[in-house]
Structure 1
Amino acid sequence: MKKFYGLQGTRLNIAIAVVAGTDFALFGYDQGVMGGLLTLGSFLRYFPEIDTVNPPPGSSASHVATIQAITVGAYTLGCFFGAVATIWLGNMLGRKKTIITGSIIMVVGAAIQCSSYSLAQLIVSRWITGFGNGMNTSTVPTWQSETSKPHRRGQMVMIEGSLIVFGVMLSYWLDLGFSFLEPSSIAWRFPIAFQIILALFILALIPGLPESPRWLVLKGRHKEALEVLAALSGLPADDKKIQAEFQAVKDVTEEMSWGGFRDCFKMNRNRNFHRTALAYVNQMFQQISGINLVTYYAATIFENSIGLSPFLSRLLSACNGTEYWMASWIAIFTIERFGRRSLMMFGAAGMSVSMAILAGAVSHIGNASLGLLATVFLFVFNSFFAIGWLGMTWLYPAEITPLSIRAPANAISTTANWIFNFLVVMITPVAFANIGYQTYIIFAVINAAMVPSVYFFFPETAYRSLEEMDEIFHRTANVFDVVKIAHELPHRYDKRGELLIDYADTEEAREAERRRSSVVGAGTGGMFANDGEKMTREHVEIGGAGNGIQ
């Protein structure tokens, strides 16, 4: 077989995007599939413990709501632990092997899940499936970002975000279609089993695709990294543009070396902790916006909160997912034009208003006009989220974190996604059972607070190479000036990806050369690095690639 399936340039980038996108579709499918089953008769026949409409004898509605939340939330809790495992496994295995491992775990978990006959089996299998997905969602955005060009990176990851919603939409329609097979258990077993097909597609195609060139440099595999960079651009390895890009990646890698989990919490020259915190908060914001209140419980909200029939509730959920997917395409064509910050603020403001209107509309169940208003704004809320936050939190953390800690930092940020996802999934049924419409008020306030947070603390990353982001933070003195520095620093690439400033002409390149010279001059005579650590022979031989250089 030809290297990288014989693909180069745009075709190779598309192939990577297809596999990465399939993984995100699988992620979305997993999130959405359970929502349409929670009120299905054949499903509740096997798992009556989670029937909130007709609780088992001796059980209160609040207790059953908690059991339902645990069942649904087991998946997100598994995702959390999978993301935590990636903190250590990510740099050790590499991007591709981590995704392969996660996909295999998902196949095992899904097989057990679709064959469940008891609630305990269902909960455990959902946790296993989530563990594999947590590994994938911690790694795929990094792999995608590290194999994309600066002028295409945002658009490519936003396509992945759109595919998350495609997966959600697909799960809703499958749930609806197979509900007609009631009372057969196939009505819920097949929709759960379908995710295995997507995981097998990933496992079949990813082995022949390139590893991240930045991870290859990190591991000292420079020849392979140069080969990948050339293939991704469709240019010969000795091309000036490829050589400049390779040198930039190499210098950053040699400066940073082997960053680990603990390095994420260092406030060094690269401001690791600052950047890890931005990535973490970005992921947290996505989840506490309340999106999974809709994604996981859309059919339940339509049926129990608005008072619609079971069939109409599932139909509207499917339509909601379809509109959600259509809205996600807006971000694909606006992410590079308007930038990350503008879309995040626009989305948060719209979500806040939507939640406030939902609170007023669902406070009077049975009122036809208010029920229609609530239905409309469930669609509107999803639209604002799709534009501003859907793909953003899979793009921004991978862009904002430095290479040495990119794998552990993205894993840490993804743990925020899943632990706050779990929080929302757990409290939603209980909150609806106890405080009703006031649940929406809480999310309205949270979304409103997200707007100034983005404005003051999140720097723009559009049209920036991953190495340029390092330069921005090298110049940053505190959390308040990074936005201004990112705005003022000249871009190295234009909006079409053409080189504006050669890396060799930048201050970063001159600084890297000074560090290399000082290291070589130091020899093994006990000279000290910038942060006071003693240089070793290994540091000299690899041009400053040890932890001593900060």
Structure 2
Amino acid sequence: MSGIISAPQFIRVFPACDPAEQGTYKASVLQAFYVAIYEIGCLGGAIFALMFGDRLGRRKMMFTGAIILIIGVVIQVTSFRGSWAGGQFIIGRIVTGLGTGFETSTIPTWHAECAKAHSRGFAVFIEAAMISTGTMVSYWVDLGFSYIDSSVSWRVPIALQCVFAIGLIAMLLFLPESPRWLVSKGHMVEGQRVVAALEPAPFNSETVILQTKVIHDSLEGQLRQRKRDLITNGPTQHFRRMLLGSSSQFFQQVGGCNAVIYFSTPIFEEYLGQSRNMSLILGSVLATVYALSACISFPLVDKVGRRKLYFIGTIGQALSMFLIMGCLIPGRDSNASNGAVVGIFLFLTFFGFTWLELPWLYPAEVNPLKTRTNANAVSTINNWLFNFTVVMFTPPFLASTAVGCFAFFGAINLCFLPVIYFYYIETAGRSLEEVRTPTTKDTASTADRSQRNEAVADFPCPRSCPRPPSASSSRLLLPPAFLPSDRRHLRSWLRREGVVRQDG
């Protein structure tokens, strides 16, 4: 919407967004509302995912979301002046957002549950990087269609969303359901079949059987999922895990990303003195840099780790915002606006390979399967709620004081650092069943650690298979949150399932 919301062709159909008729401040508020109301729909989709997502399953949620998105797009592009155009467009935005909320609450979880531990970050980052790729495509499409002096210039770019939704529907005909969701619902055979396909390995191979058992073992006593489990602590720390995942989505939004992404074209034009055409070109180049920067994260996410990327992104974003602020201080040389352009490009570069992807991966990693769907939905609710908030207050804030707006976002980014340092754990390289109680340091007592070490069995690591269990020297320490309280029961279960030798 960045290249559309202030376009003359759009304003002809929606005069409520015209500064000449409404005044600068009122028009900026209404433009923000036309853009931000989409996030309300996304919020509704995330709430639906929280209530019913685990009941429907990952594939059905993605399929339903794509259908709803298409319906919303059709409502938007059939808005005509004189036929309650503004109201119809707003309803279409809400419906489209509802479908997007389904997708963003489900796809990261599905990705994390289907990927292996050593490549999970890479797989989820590719999915998140598609956000920047889509942004890049939309900016260039907006630029190309801006030369058409009719409503086609905004109807076609909005309608193109249907192409990707139809593509998702087509792929879902071939993509599997999450093996962890299947096992949690008692579909053991189908879950094992998906594990075999993802490995890939024969259905009855030791590797596949072992991985299915590990997933099933982590679910012992957890098959009945309740919403109130999200607010429990104790040994499982469900509430703390949920807060960690949700905070990452909150930080992503209040850090100012959508203040730049949604309104880069108006910022270039109204506050940095660029022409309309140059603003569109700069916005398109900015989106391209944004998409390319997302590719930097691919080799780093599993090697550098999550915490370090969080630190790099936060510091880079804060410094970029302060650079923009400094260049917009009144009384400076007119060329200082070029420095503000550089600051905007730097901000999206740092955001593109860190905070763009990490908040979509992190909640799915730190939350156990018992609460993963619900906790991920809460995180997504957080994302869309504060996305709406930031998009609504940014245009009036910029109209009042552009310097203060960017100073505010820079200061907010600095506030993330102590939270990341003291509370964010490293999850790189661990399977979802191995992620422990979320503390940056192991605070367990000596007695707890001794008891935990005694509970180590000759349990082959999934990545070290396919050697037979009896011949394996690889030892896997099961997380205490997933161990039965009685060690004798554990060893009995391991012998019964054939994982440990009878004389072991």
**Shared fold, TM over 0.5:** yes
Q: Is the 8 A contact 1:362 1:437 kept in 2?
A: yes
Which residue in 2 is equivalent to 1:258? Answer: 224
**Structure 2 residue 358 is matched with structure 1 residue 386:** no
1:429 to 2:395 alignment: yes
Partner of 1:46: 13
Distance 1:510 1:65, change over 3 A: closer
Distance 1:191 1:497 in 2: 45
CA contact (8 A) 2:296 2:353 kept: yes
Inter-partner Cα distance in structure 2 for 1:436 and 1:180 = 29
Alignment of 1:120-519 (within 5 A): 120-182=87-149, 184-364=150-330, 367-469=333-435, 472-473=436-437, 481=441, 497-498=463-464, 506=478, 511-512=483-484, 514=486, 517=489
Q: What letter is aligned with 1:329?
A: C
Aligned match of 1:61: 24
Q: What letter matches 1:180 in structure 2? A: Y
Question: Which letter maps to 1:115?
Answer: T
In 2: Cα distance, 1:501 partner to 1:107 partner: 53
Residues 253 and 510 from structure 1, CA distance in 2 versus in 1: closer, same or farther, beyond 3 angstroms? closer
Distance 2:443 2:265 in 1: 41
Structure 2 counterpart of 1:77, which letter?
I
Aligned-partner Cα distance in 1 for 2:341–2:460: 45
**Which residue among 67, 76, 81 is the counterpart of 1:104?**
67
> What does residue 15 of structure 1 align with?
none
TM-score by length of 2: 0.89
Q: Cα 1:484–1:140, aligned 2, differ >3 Å: closer, same or farther?
A: farther
Work out which of the residue numbers 57, 73, 77 in structure 2 matches 1:114: 77
SS of the residue 1:337 aligns to: coil
- Shift of the 465–362 alpha-carbon distance from structure 1 to 2, 3 Å rule, reads same
TM-superposed deviation, 1:270: 1.4
Change (3 A) 1:401 1:509: closer
Give 1:88 deviation, angstroms. Answer: 1.3
Task: Give the CA deviation at 1:320.
Answer: 0.1
1:360-392 alpha-carbon deviations (Å, 9 max, x no partner): 112348944211111111110001111211111
Q: Choose the corresponding residue for 1:82, options 45, 49, 60.
A: 45
The answer on 1:95 being equivalent to 2:83 is no
SS of residue paired to 1:336: coil
Cα deviation per residue 1:35-70 (whole Å; 9 max; x = unaligned)? 100221111101121124x2x1xx342222221111
Name the CA shift for 1:225/1:173 in 2 (closer, same or farther; >3 Å): same
The amino acid that maps onto 2:53 is: G
Contact 1:147 1:232 in 2 (8 A): yes
Report Cα offsets for 1:325-368 as digits up to 9, x if no partner.
11111111111110000001100000000001101112348944
**What is the aligned residue count?**
473
Distance in 1, matches of 2:11 and 2:156, equals: 16
CA contact (8 A) 2:246 2:363 kept: yes
Select between 374-383 and 358-367 the one with higher mean Cα deviation. Answer: 358-367
Aligned equivalents of 1:364 and 1:505: distance in 2? 60
427 and 223 in structure 1: CA distance in 2 versus 1, 3 angstrom threshold: same
Q: Which moved more, 1:340-349 or 1:43-52?
A: 43-52
Q: Whole-Å Cα distance in 2 between the matches of residues 181 and 92 of structure 1?
A: 46
CA spacing shift, 1:504–1:237, aligned 2, 3 Å: farther
Q: Name the residue aligned to 1:35.
A: 2
SS at match of 1:150: coil
Unaligned runs of 5+ in 1: 1-33, 522-550
Would the aligned equivalents of 2:425 and 2:440 in 1 still touch at CA under 8 Å? Answer: no
| Compared CA separation, residues 207 and 427, structure 1 to 2 (3 A) | same
Q: Which amino acid aligns with 1:385?
A: F
Write the distance in 1 (CA, Å) between the matches of 2:137 and 2:118.
Answer: 30
Q: Over residues 56-92 of structure 1, what are the superposed CA-to-partner deviations in whole Å (9 max), with x where a residue is unaligned? A: 1xx3422222211111101011101110110011110
- Report Cα offsets for 1:230-270 as digits up to 9, x if no partner: 11001012222222211110011123212232211111331
Equivalent residue letter for 1:212: S
Distance 1:177 1:507 in 2: 54
TM-score, normalised by the number of residues in structure 1: 0.81
How far is 1:452 from its partner?
1.9
In the TM superposition, what is the alpha-carbon distance from 1:484 to its structure 2 partner? Answer: 9.7
SS of 1:466's partner is: coil
Assess, with a 3 A threshold, how the Cα gap between structure 1 residues 367 and 115 changes in structure 2: closer, same or farther.
farther
Q: Which has the larger displacement, 72-81 or 254-263? A: 254-263
Residues 268-303 of structure 1: CA distance to partner in whole angstroms, max 9, x if unpaired? 331110100001101101111100011100100000
Is the CA contact 2:460–2:474 (under 8 Å) kept in the aligned structure 1?
A: no
1:501 deviates by 7.9
Question: What SS class does the counterpart of residue 159 from structure 1 fall into?
Answer: helix
Paired AA for residue 342 in structure 1: K
Deviation string, structure 1 residues 500-539 (Cα, Å, up to 9, x no partner): 9867764759933948949x99xxxxxxxxxxxxxxxxxx
Change over 3 Å in CA distance of 1:365–1:501 after alignment to 2: farther
In structure 2, distance between residues paired with 1:50 and 1:379: 27
Determine the C-alpha separation between the residues in 2 that align with 1:453 and 1:483: 18
- How high is the sequence identity, in percent, across the aligned residues? 36
User: Cα deviation per residue 1:158-191 (whole Å; 9 max; x = unaligned)?
Assistant: 1112211000000000000001111x11111000
Q: 1:38 to 1:510 in 2, by over 3 A?
A: closer
Residue type of the alignment partner of 1:512: P
Deviation digits for residues 473-493 of structure 1 (CA, Å, limit 9, x no counterpart)? 1xx6xx5646999xx999999
Query: In structure 2, what is the Cα distance between the partners aligned to 1:433 and 1:384?
Result: 26
| Residues 1:513 and 1:44: Cα distance change in structure 2 (over 3 Å) | same
Which amino acid is 2:193 matched to? E
Letter in 2 for 1:146: E
